[in-house]
A and B are shown apart, each in its own frame.
Chain A
Amino acid sequence: MGISRRQFLQRGALAGAAIALSGKPGEASVDAPELRTKGLKTTTTICPFCSVGCGLIVHTKDGRVVNAEGDPQHPINQGALCPKGGALFQIANNENRLQKVKYRAPGSDKWEEKSWDWALDRIAQRMKETRDKSFKKTELNKKDSKEYVVNRTDGMAFFGGAGLDNEECYLWTKFARAMGVGQLEHQARL
C-alpha cells in the first residue's frame, strides 16, 4: 500500500501520542478489551430534552439501538451528557412505548387497537366536519360594527410542536393555517 509522506507523518504523530499516554509501547491494549460497540453502525443525533443541543452517537445492531453516548466531537457537550441525555437509550428500548394506533369510542372505558388507515380516515372526517360546521367566512367587529372576511375555523385547536423537528413544525403550521385554524398554540406560551 502506497503511503504519502504527509500520511506517514500523521500516523507517526498518532503513534507517538499513544505511547505518550500509555507510558510504554505495547501496553495500551492490556486492560482495554475491544469496545463492544466496535464495528457497529453509528449515527449522530442531538438530544431531545433541553435546549442546550448536545450531540450524541447512537450505535445500532440489526436495527436495534444498543448504545447511545455523548459525541466527543460535539463542540458544546464534548462528549458529556446529563442524566436525561444519558437515558436516551431507554427511549428506543422501552416496553411502554406506544406501538399501535389506539382508539377510544365515546363513553367507552377501554382502548381498541386500530389500523392507521382506519384512524386517519376517521380523523380526516372529524376535521372536515368540524371545519365545515364552524368555518367563519366573516366576523363582526364590535368596535366599528363592520363585517370582515376572516376565513377561519373556530371549532378546533392545534397544540404542540416544541418536541417536533423544524421541518415538522413547518408542515404543522402550513397545514393548520390552510385548515383555517387560528387557534394554533404550543409550549412556548407556557
Chain B
Amino acid sequence: MTNHWIDLKNSDVILAIGCNPAENHPVSFKWIEKALDSGAKLIAVDPRYTRTASKSDIYAQIRPGTDIAFLGGIINFALQNTMIHEEYVREYTNATFIVSEQFDFQDGMFCAFDDQEKTYDLKSWAYATTADGKPKRDMGMKDPKSVYQLMKNHYKRYDVDTVCAITGTKKEDYLKVAKAFCGTGRADKAGTILYAMGITQSTHGSQNVRAVALLQMLLGNIGIAGGGVNALRGESNVQGSTDYGLLFHILPGYLKSPEFDNVDLKAYNEKWTPKTKDPKSANWWGNTPKYITSLLKAWYGENATAENDFCYDYLPKRMGNYSYVKIMEKMGKGELEGLVCMGMNPAVGGPDSMAAREALGKLKWLVTADLWETESSIFWKRPGVDPKKIQTEVFMLPAASSIEKEGSISNSGRWAQWRYAAIHPVGDSRSDLHIIDEFYKRVKALYLKQGGAFPEPITKLSWNYGNGHEPDVHLVAREINGYFTKDMTIVDKDKTLEFKKGDQVPMFKYLQDDGSTVSGCWIYCGSYTKDGNQMARRDLADPTGLGLFPKWSWCWPVNRRIIYNRASVNPAGEPFNAKRPVIAWDPLEKKWRGDVPDGPWPPMKDDKEGKYPFIMLPEGHGRLYALDMKDGPFPEHYEPVESPARNLLSRVQSNPVVKVPKNVSSDTAKFPYVGTTYRVTEHWQAGAMTRSLPWLVELVPDMFVELSETLAQRKGIKQGDTVKVTTERGSIEAVALVTSRLKPFNVQGRMIEQVGMPWHFGYAGLATGDSGNVLTPTVGCANTGIPEFKAFLCNIEKGGKRA
C-alpha cells in the first residue's frame, strides 16, 4: 500500500476492485465504515455481489479478467470530461514528456514486436531527449507525441458502450462509477483504489495494476491522505517476505538479484543503478551501490573487502526465469532433486494442483516446516495413489506458531510490528529462525569437514546471532537495520555526526558503498537504532489527526506513513488539500511539517535544491507511460487466455507476450462458463492454518461451488447437491451453493454464466474437500508470472464423480 489501513477513513471515494475487504480483510472495514460515516462513497467492482458490494453505494458487476477495459474506460471518461487534476498531471507525471518518433500502436500491438520470441524491443518506447540528455517535454501537453496526447488517443477507443460490451457491466452502473470516482480529480477530494488478487492474478496483472496507478495519477490521488494505490496483501507477512527478497529476481530491499552478465560488482552497479542528467531528480535508486555493498557486508562481514569485490562473486547469478510456475514445471520433468517448503503448500496453493502433486513425487527429497500436516507433506499418501510407488524421501518438521516465538511482521501498510513469545513452542516444535539456523550450521559443518563444490559462500558467511541454543532474534534485527564497521564522521548539511564502530545506523541515507556500513535490508534501516527496537513502539500519539500514528511500531521507508507524499503539495510546498495536509512546507523555518517527507529537500519550486516527487524513478515523474513493462507502455485490454468472448478492442485476443501452454482451452462448447476462485472469511489461503481449527471448521465445513439461480435452474441443480466442475486440467466435486450473488453477464449480446469457488480446501486437516486449484491454468502475468487463477473456462454438472 502507498498508504495504510487507518488512512482509509480520510477518503471521499473508495473504489474496491478485485478485492473484497469486508470478507478477506474484515477489520479494515472499520476504517471504510468510518469514511462512510463521514459521507464518503464506496464503490465495489466485482464479478460477485460480495459482502463488500452489499455495503457499497455503487456496485458494478465485472466479468473476470476484463479490468483494463473497465479502468481504461474510466481513464477515458476522466480525460474526455476534463476531470483530471491538471496541475498534478502536468507537474508530477510524465504526461508532458515526448516519446521517440519510433513509438507506435496499431490494432492491439505496440511497435517492435518479435513474433518468434514473443517479445517487444523496449528500447523503441524510449523518451525523446534534448541535446543535454534530458527528456524532451511539452508543458502544454499539445504535442501529438507527448505522453498526454498518446494516452488520450489510446483510451478514446475505450468508450462506455464498447467497455460495457466487454465487461458485462450495466451501462448505468458504469456511468455512476465513472462519475463518482472521477469526481476525486479535484484538489479537495481524495479517492483511493483498493485491489487484491482480482487484479494481480491475470495474464495482464501488472498492467491491471498500472491501469489503477494511471487513473490515480490522472486524478492526483497518489501521495495524499485518503488516496493511493493500495494492494490489500493476503498473508500476515507477505509484505515483509517480499521486502526481504524471497523471490528469484530480487535480493532484500528490492535490489535486483544479479544476472549472469553482471560479471562483477562494478558491472552490477552499472546495470542496476539508474542515472539522470536532471539535477531536480532525486533518482533514489542512484544509491544502489551503497545498499548492495552494505548487504554484502552483512552477509560476508570481515571477509567482504573492497579488494575482493565484497564477495560479490559468492552470490548466485541468474540466467533465465525461475519463477514459481517455472520451478514446478522443472520439478514435473524430474529435473529437481530437492525442495524445502517453509510454511508453503504447493499441492493446494499453486495452479493445476494435480500436476503439482505429481511433480512432488519426482523429487528425491522434500522438507516441510509447518504447524500441521499439509497436502504437500502428505502428498505421498493422497487419495488415489500408492505410496510404494513414490520414492521421495520426506522430512516433516514441526514449526512453532506466531505466539511461540519473537519477531516482527510487516502489514499491508508497511508497518513492521513486533510480536512476543507468549508460550514455549508446543511439543518439540521450533521456530523457523531456529530451523534455518540449524540448516546453516549443519551444512557449514559438512563443508568444513568434507569440502565440496565452491564451499566459500557457505563457510565464509557471517552468521553471528549469539551463543545460545537458538539464534538471538534481536541480533538478527540489528543486522537487518545495520551498523557502522568503523568510527565515522558524517557531515549532513549543517550537522556533523559522530559514530563509533558498532553503532546502529540511524537511517539509510547514512549507508555507504565503501564497506563502512552493514545493512541486511536497507529499507528497514531505522527500524532498530540506538534508541532501541522501533518496531515494538506502542505510543498512540496522532499529532496530525490523520491517523498516521508515527510512534506506533515503525514503517518503511524511514517511518514514512504515506509514500510519494511530496505529490500531496503543489510545487511551492502548499498542500493541495488544506483540510487534510500530509506534509506542508514551512517557508519561515525552512522545513517540512507532518509526515516524514519523501526526502529532506525543499519543495520542487526551489531552484537550487527542489526535487520532483516520484523519487524512485530516474525522471522523477510518475509514469503514465511506462518504459520497462514487457507488454507495452500503456495498459491495453486483452482477454484472459481462456475466454468466452472475442476481444472487441483489437484483433489480438490475449496478451501477445504470454506463451500459452497446451492444457488451456477456449472451447466454449465443452467449457461454456467462466470460472473464478475466491476466499471466505473463515478460511485462509491453502487452508492449513484454518481447516484444523474446530471453531472455523464448524463455520465453513465443506468445499462448495457457487452458481447463479438461472444456471442452477438450467442444470437442474439444487442447493446442497453434489456437483462436478471440469476444466481442461481436471475435475472437482463439491457442494452446490445457489445464490443471487452470482448473475450471468451480457457479453456482446450473449448471456454468459459464471461459477465461483473458494480455493482453501484439500485432503489434509480436519475439514477436507477438493481443491479449487485443480481447475486453474498454469499461465501467468507477462511481467510477474502470477497465474491467471481468476478467469478460466469450465463446465458444471449435477452429481458425478471426479474425472
Contact = CB atoms under 8 A, between A and B. Distances in A.
A72 B277 CA distance: 51
A122 interface: yes
Given A76-B6, A179-B458, A187-B685, A47 B236 contact: yes
B392 interface: yes
Contacts of B421: 43
A166 B243 contact: yes
Contact of A53 (B364, B415, B420, B422): B415
A167 B480 contact: yes
Which size bracket describes the interface of B in this complex? 35 or more
Interface in A158-190: 158-190
A82 B432 CA distance: 26
B10 interface: no
Contact of B340 (A51, A77, A86, A156): A156
Contacts of A139: 260, 319
A183 B692 CA distance: 30
Contacts of B477: 166-167
B412 interface: yes
Contact of B28 (A52, A87, A148): A52
Given A45-B420, A107-B390, A130-B364, A170 B461 contact: no
Contact of A52 (B263, B412, B683): B412
The range of chain A's interface size is: 35 or more
Given A51-B25, A65-B422, A161 B241 contact: yes
A80 B100 CA distance: 54
Interface in B440-454: 440, 442-443, 445-447, 450, 452-454
Contacts of A119: 395, 397
Interface in B227-271: 232-248, 251-252, 257, 260-261, 263
B14 to A, nearest CB: 15
A174 B263 CA distance: 20
Contact of B682 (A60, A84, A181, A184): A84
Interface string B203-241: 000000000000000000000000000001111111111
Given A53-B409, A94-B693, A164 B241 contact: yes
B420 A43 contact: yes
Contact of A84 (B367, B373, B681): B681
A187 B480 contact: no
A9 interface: no
Interface stretch (A10-18, A22-30, A31-39, A97-105): A97-105
B237 A91 contact: no
A92 B423 contact: yes
Contact of B337 (A43, A156, A159, A187): A156
A149 interface: yes
A143 to B, nearest CB: 10
Contact of A173 (B251, B392, B428): B251
B234 A127 contact: no
Interface string B297-334: 01100000000000001111111001111010001000
Given A98-B398, A101-B428, A51 B443 contact: no
B552 A75 contact: yes
Contacts of B415: 53
A160 B344 contact: yes
B621 interface: no
Given A98-B427, A116-B430, A170 B24 contact: no
Given A58-B403, A162-B238, A170 B343 contact: no
Given A97-B429, A183-B322, A46 B236 contact: yes
Interface in B5-60: 5-6, 24-28, 30-31
A75 B6 contact: yes
B419 interface: yes
A64 interface: yes
A122 B395 contact: yes
A25 B452 CA distance: 78
B529 interface: no
A108 B188 CA distance: 68
B786 interface: yes
Interface in A108-136: 108-109, 111, 116, 119-128, 130-135
B402 interface: yes
Interface centre among B319, B480, B684, B765 (most CB of A within 10 A): B319
Interface in B664-681: 681
A32 to B, nearest CB: 26
Nearest to B343: A163
B237 A163 contact: yes
B424 interface: yes
B745 to A, nearest CB: 26
A165 B409 contact: yes
A168 to B, nearest CB: 4
B439 A123 contact: yes
Contact of A186 (B246, B325, B408): B246
A135 B299 CA distance: 20
Contacts of B124: none
Contacts of B369: 160
A82 B237 contact: no
A189 B453 contact: no
B493 interface: no
B433 A168 contact: yes
A98 B370 CA distance: 8
Interface centre among A94, A107, A133, A170 (most CB of B within 10 A): A170
B696 A164 contact: no
B255 to A, nearest CB: 11
A94 B260 contact: no
B341 interface: yes
B371 interface: yes
A150 B420 CA distance: 40
Given A51-B239, A180-B454, A155 B336 contact: yes
A135 B455 CA distance: 11
A130 B429 CA distance: 26
A98 B344 contact: no
A181 B336 CA distance: 12
B395 A123 contact: yes
Given A78-B30, A175-B440, A130 B412 contact: no
B396 interface: yes
A170 B520 contact: yes
A175 B339 CA distance: 14
B260 A148 contact: yes
A80 to B, nearest CB: 5
A80 B30 contact: yes
Contacts of A121: 442
B247 A184 contact: yes
B730 interface: no
Contacts of A90: 693-696
B342 interface: yes
29 contacts: A43-B421, A50-B234, A58-B422, A75-B6, A83-B695, A83-B699, A90-B693, A96-B692, A96-B765, A99-B398, A107-B389, A126-B338, A126-B393, A127-B338, A131-B453, A150-B316, A152-B318, A155-B336, A157-B336, A158-B340, A160-B342, A161-B344, A162-B344, A163-B344, A163-B689, A166-B410, A170-B521, A180-B457, A187-B238
Interface of A: 41, 43-55, 58, 60, 63-65, 68, 73, 75-78, 80-88, 90-92, 94, 96-109, 111, 116, 119-128, 130-135, 137, 139, 141, 148-153, 155-190
Nearest first, the 6 closest Cβ-Cβ pairs linking A and B are A99-B427, A53-B411, A165-B407, A160-B344, A124-B442, A98-B398
